[in-house]
Amino acid sequence: MALIKCSDLTLGYENIVLAEHLNLEVNSGEYWCITGENGTGKSTFMKTVLGLRKPLAGTISYGDGLEKNNIGYLPQQMQYQKDFPASVNEVVISGFQGKTGLRPFYNKAEKEQARRNIEKFGLAELADRCYRELSGGQQQRVLLARALCATGKVLLLDEPVTGLDPKVTEEFYELIKKINREDNITVIMISHDLEACRKYATHVLNFGEKITTEEIKHD
C-alpha cells in the first residue's frame, strides 16, 4: 500500500483554488521533487499532506503505518528562526515533540536517536553550540537532523538549499540522497533546481496550469 495517496485533491485556502484534480501515490523509498512557479500550490500541497491545512476537496490517505505526526518536515527558514537561542542538541531533540504526548521529558531512546542523528550529519563537535552562531549550511543540517527525529519513513523538505552557496548546496543534496537510499526514507522536496531534480529524484511532480508527474529512471 502507498505511504501517501492523494485522490482527486483540490488545494487552496479560503475558497481560493490553487490546484485541482491531483491524483498520485507516493511509495516507500521514492524521491519526489515538486516543481512549478510560485503561487501554484506547492507549499500548500506540503502543508495539506502534513495535516496543517485541509484540502478543499478530495482526500489524502496514509498507509504502511504512517501517521501525520510521524512525518519529518523541514520548512523554509525565516530570518527570526535563524536567530533561535538554543543549542544544536536542543533543536535536534525537539523533533520528537510530536511523539512525546503528555510526557514532560524525552526518554532514553529519543536522546540516543538524537545523538546518532547529530553524529550522522557531522555535527557532534557543535552539539553544545548555540544554533544562531552556526553557518547557514550547518543550520540546515541541524534542521534536517531534527526532521529525521520525527520520522523513520517520510521527509518533507521545502526549498532546503535556498541561500546556500554551490558547494554547500551540493553537499546537502548528497546528504539527502544518502538518507533516501541508505535509510530508505521517502523524500518529498520542493525545488526550483530542475537540474538537481533530474539528478536525484525518482519522480517529479510539476504544478502549473495542468499538474503533471514524471518518473525518472537512473542507471
Sheet of 57-62: strands edge to edge? Answer: 16-26, 4-13, 57-62
Q: Which residues of the chain have pLDDT under 50?
A: 80
Domain limits, the chain? 1-66+153-219, 79-151
Q: Which pLDDT score is estimated for 100?
A: 66
Q: Which pLDDT score is estimated for 102?
A: 65
Q: Which pLDDT score is estimated for 33?
A: 97
Distance from C-alpha of 101 to C-alpha of 98, rounded to nearest angstrom: 7
Q: Is 71 buried (19+), middle (13-18) or exposed (0-12) by CB count in 10 A?
A: buried
Q: Which pLDDT score is estimated for 163?
A: 86
Q: Which pLDDT score is estimated for 78?
A: 60
Question: What is the fold, at CATH topology level, of the domain defined by 1-66+153-219?
Answer: Rossmann fold (3.40.50)
**How many helices and strands in the chain, by DSSP H and E?**
8, 9
Q: Can you read off the three cell numbers belonging to residue 204?
A: 517529479
